Amino acid sequence: MIDVQPFSLVMVLVAAALLAAVLAHRLSARLRVPAPAVFLLAAALASDVAPVLGQIPVTVDERIVIVALVFILFDGGMHIGWRRFRRSAVAIAWIGIAGTAATAAALALAAHVFFGFGWGAALLIGAALSPTDPAAVFSILGGREITGRTGTILEGESGANDPVGIALMISLLGATGGGLDAVASGTADFMLQMAIGALIGFFAGHGLLALMRKVALPNEALHSVGTMAAVAFIYAATTLLHGSGFLAVFLAGIIIGDQRAPYKRDIERFSACLLYTSP
């Protein structure tokens, strides 16, 4: 007989997390505290009172986070839109890419000097800690009207630095312990991931927009489901091609963001629901 206990445990915990995320938004509205902060506190308490959480394999957590981050970045990109992004693209690139790399370097230096980590481990720590949390930033800014370029830069930087940090981490893992040649190879791999992700994201965004405009489905709900399936495909295909899948879906969302398409408002609502359940 097939043992369904591990899978059932994962389903129970995922369902409980989704319910907690929904309730966190109601509680945050009453307390006037950002929902991610409420959700983080609830998760910390749950880890103390429910030892069963430690039985979940790390790979399961990783996969759940990846799926959530894919849709978070796509929704964040749609909220920004191409027109807003274009006006602040230089600032977003400097803060999101160069700023993330500089932050990672500064954190690595601190880990090496003050805590005695080797350079390999210090660089990995810096890359892991350098990105901000896009779910938190998109959730907080989504409920506030920030005029001018400030909101665009904050959202764009938050969406860009997660793909940058992840690609940097992957490149450093491949270069750890190999000397300067490995570091140079890791840097080249990082740039390649960024380039492939940006290229695929740009064309995939335009391709998805064309499909949204031309393909009529028999049910309105299918447009939202089909769009999310296409987003997952963009991420997976880009990753298989050794590009940054996270950057690809973020850029695809930006391309679609301020364009007109049938049922686009329904798609935005569906995508926003996924964001609100992933604080």
Domain boundaries along the sequence of the chain: 1-56, 63-276
Nearest-10 crossing angle of helices 119-129, 149-175:
150
Question: Is the pLDDT assigned to residue 190 strictly greater than 50?
Answer: yes
CA distance linking residue 32 with residue 178, whole number of Å: 49
In order of 167, 180, 191, the CA distances from 177 in angstroms are 18, 9, 20
In order of 185, 228, 244, the CA distances from 241 in angstroms are 18, 20, 9
CA distance linking residue 221 with residue 153, whole number of Å: 32
Size of the chain in residues: 279
Least confident window among 63-72, 89-98, 141-150, 221-230 = 141-150
Q: What pLDDT is stored for residue 155 in this prediction?
A: 77
Question: Is the pLDDT assigned to residue 118 strictly greater than 80?
Answer: yes
Instruction: Assign 81 to helix, strand or coil.
Output: helix
CA dihedral 179, 183, 189, 190 (to 10 degrees): 150
Q: Six-digit token pair at 86? A: 């274009």
Side chain identity at 80, as an amino acid letter?
I
Q: How confident is the model at residue 179 (pLDDT cuts 50, 70, 90)?
A: low
Question: Is the pLDDT assigned to residue 246 strictly greater than 90?
Answer: yes
Instruction: Assign 177 to helix, strand or coil.
Output: coil
Q: Which residues of 88-102 are buried (b: 16+ CB within 10 A; e: fewer)?
A: beebbeebbbebbbe
Q: How confident is the model at residue 1 (pLDDT cuts 50, 70, 90)?
A: very low
Question: Is the pLDDT assigned to residue 32 strictly greater than 80?
Answer: no
pLDDT in tens, 131-172: 765 555 555 555 555 556 777 777 787 778 778 888 877 777
Instruction: Assign 1 to helix, strand or coil.
Output: coil
Instruction: Assign 265 to helix, strand or coil.
Output: helix
Instruction: Give the range with max mean pLDDT: 1-5, 170-174, 249-253.
Output: 249-253
